[in-house]
Chain A
């Protein structure tokens, strides 16, 4: 049984991480290939930093991901707080299932319908598609991130219950004060995890961006996809490696921090 455990663990982690390790490995390849390793070099990192297109796309992706995550977190948190306070159970259920539709919907349906909607909108307003390029992407990304935020905030709101807020109101808070001073700090972990989820979802979305994207707003996934006419250049591996390292550092730091906090608490 012990052996089985070990093999099982190795198998799972192998499948999870070997592809990533391969990618990191080949990003240091001196040859223009993903199959033959010819020697260590930083060539692709140099190439990456000298290519303006990639950075433009990366910038776009980050701007979009941060904006969409922020916007959907704000709307989602408000929505969660609102849904919790609904009196009619029927309306609550209805709203819950309606907000879940963008999550259950296949991306391709969301993407197509968004594109149709924006094209029609552009036609009615008789403006260029480019002039709403970023806005269209922002709306589309916020829409599909929203249910995830609600999903991670709503349980926190439900756990918190009404009594604290009501106490705050009794003690003289205005409703807004009670939300920001009492409710928000308590549901903050849920809000943050919602934000992170929305951020990652928006960062790697391809299908919806593919349909909605305009000529003046190309994101990284779209750029990489368009390279398949010739071949995906290894500088993309270099970029992915940098992203992985960033995420890794972020995770380590946050884990160490929360570990320290827990130890402090237990000391008390």
Chain B
């Protein structure tokens, strides 16, 4: 029998090995078809839905870049494109070592953090041929003052989206954040579902610095949010689209570009930038330090800045582009429409005295603000009966288990006693028998 088991095991391993080899071989074959052994793979790591990908006849950026490499650079390049959902996901993937990428597109504060941690490849950005088209305003940003890490890809601002049929025009006249604290719209307000954006909305209203290192500022912001909580219908991220489009909520703070997407499906929506100030974000293309093909990555960045891909991407994503080839391009302006251009590229009239960009926090402050946010979210969020039911269930399970153990112990003790008694009886009987015989 043992030999069968041994043979089986060996067979299994051989099969498994064959299978992996087979599957690897298949992959290689596929690559072999495209020819040439010096094929280069460029790993691009981008946000989901953040590039014009050729769907429904749109411009296929990746294919165009591969074509460009073949024709212009005489290189056989294959772009390996994958996506992430948050800056933090991307950061943990990179810092965990589970991935080497040639291009990443983090947001401003994440660039600052990665730069400080030495995770970014440094090069003279201004040497890129198409960099000159980047608007002056977006060069040498605070996270990259010497222009040696990043090239801006998109930017945008947070504003208030409201449903003009459900909101009284008087309430939006002063263009303030306070509409999100207006009792009239109880249960119709949507708030961000992440600590940074959520707390910032309160800080703008209170006139505090969104990058404050003073913990009492954050406490004040939390207080304001606790005050707002009864009015809030839900804390949302991308669910906001459905809620605003289907009129189930009437007020929300979100990004200008996404407002335009919602407007397509619900023409009743309207938008303004709060005058107290609002957050501005920039997503920029960077090269991680451990990139395998930094030179090719630079080519990719340069390609992304050239007219056709830049315009196609700006149209696809719907966020504002810092590239003058895009925002001065008549066909782009026509496609977007005047109103949309106004929303995306309007001059800032806010009187916010502080820097509207998010800065990277110290780990301690980050933990502190996350803790505050946690308090806000957990406070009374689950109703009492849920707690009681779970306690009852856990308690009864525990009770049953303990009861079982006790009963078993007692039973086994009883059995043992009974056995012992029987044994004694037997012995006694034998003894008495023996003594009777002896007698």
Contacts and interface: CB of A to CB of B under 8 A. Distances in A.
Nearest to A123: B97
Contact of A231 (B15, B20, B86, B238): B238
A128 B53 contact: no
B34 interface: no
Contacts of A138: 20, 23
B98 A235 contact: no
Nearest to A165: B4
A81 B23 contact: no
A229 B85 contact: yes
A180 B379 CA distance: 61
A235 B58 CA distance: 15
Contacts of B23: 63, 67, 134, 138
Contact of B54 (A52, A123, A175, A235): A52
A179 interface: yes
A82 B98 contact: no
Interface string A219-255: 0001101111111110100000000000000000000
Contact of A228 (B9, B55, B238, B242): B238
Nearest to B242: A35
Contact of B7 (A74, A176, A231): A176
B113 to A, nearest CB: 18
A13 B202 CA distance: 44
B43 A215 contact: yes
Given A35-B245, A36-B266, A228-B85, A78 B8 contact: yes
Contact of B82 (A34, A36, A51, A215): A215
A85 B1 contact: yes
Contacts of A46: 56
Nearest to A70: B19
B153 interface: no
Interface stretch (B44-52, B269-277, B337-345): B44-52
A31 interface: yes
B245 A36 contact: yes
B383 interface: no
Contact of A226 (B9, B41, B48, B246): B48
A33 B245 contact: yes
Interface residues of B, number: 57
A25 interface: no
Interface stretch (B257-265, B367-375, B401-409, B422-430): B257-265
A100 interface: no
A82 B5 contact: yes
A148 B4 CA distance: 23
Contacts of B96: 115, 119
A229 B50 contact: yes
A82 B6 CA distance: 9
B100 A229 contact: no
Given A231-B49, A231-B238, A134 B243 contact: no
Contact of B265 (A31, A134, A135): A31
A122 B48 CA distance: 27
A62 to B, nearest CB: 12
Given A134-B27, A216-B43, A226 B100 contact: no
Interface string A51-87: 1110000000001000100110011001001100100
Residue from A34, A216, A233 having most chain B Cβ neighbours under 10 A:
A216
Interface residues of A, number: 58
A228 B50 CA distance: 11
Contact of A235 (B55, B80, B241, B248): B55
A65 B71 CA distance: 38
A255 to B, nearest CB: 31
Interface in A98-127: 115, 118-119, 122-123
B50 A215 contact: no
Given A34-B242, A78-B9, A229-B50, A71 B16 contact: yes
B11 interface: yes
Interface in B233-258: 237-238, 241-243, 245-246, 248, 258
A214 interface: yes
B373 to A, nearest CB: 19
A32 B100 contact: no
Given A50-B54, A119-B96, A175-B7, A33 B16 contact: no
The CB with the most chain B CB atoms within 10 A, among A47, A78, A229, is that of: A229
Given A35-B242, A129-B97, A228 B45 contact: no
**Which of B3, B245, B264 has the largest count of A CB atoms less than 10 A from its CB?**
B245
A211 B4 contact: no
B81 interface: yes
Given A119-B98, A215-B99, 11 more contacts: A33-B245, A35-B241, A70-B19, A81-B8, A119-B97, A130-B80, A135-B20, A215-B101, A216-B82, A226-B83, A227-B48
Interface of B: 1, 3-5, 7-9, 11-12, 15-16, 19-20, 23-24, 27, 41, 43, 45, 47-50, 53-57, 60, 80-86, 96-101, 237-238, 241-243, 245-246, 248, 258, 261, 264-266, 292, 317
18 contacts: A34-B242, A35-B242, A35-B246, A35-B248, A50-B56, A52-B53, A74-B19, A82-B9, A85-B4, A178-B4, A213-B98, A215-B80, A218-B82, A225-B48, A226-B83, A229-B47, A230-B238, A231-B238
The 10 A-B residue pairs with the shortest CB-CB distance in the complex, in nearest-first order: A35-B246, A226-B48, A226-B83, A175-B4, A51-B55, A35-B242, A227-B48, A230-B49, A78-B12, A119-B97
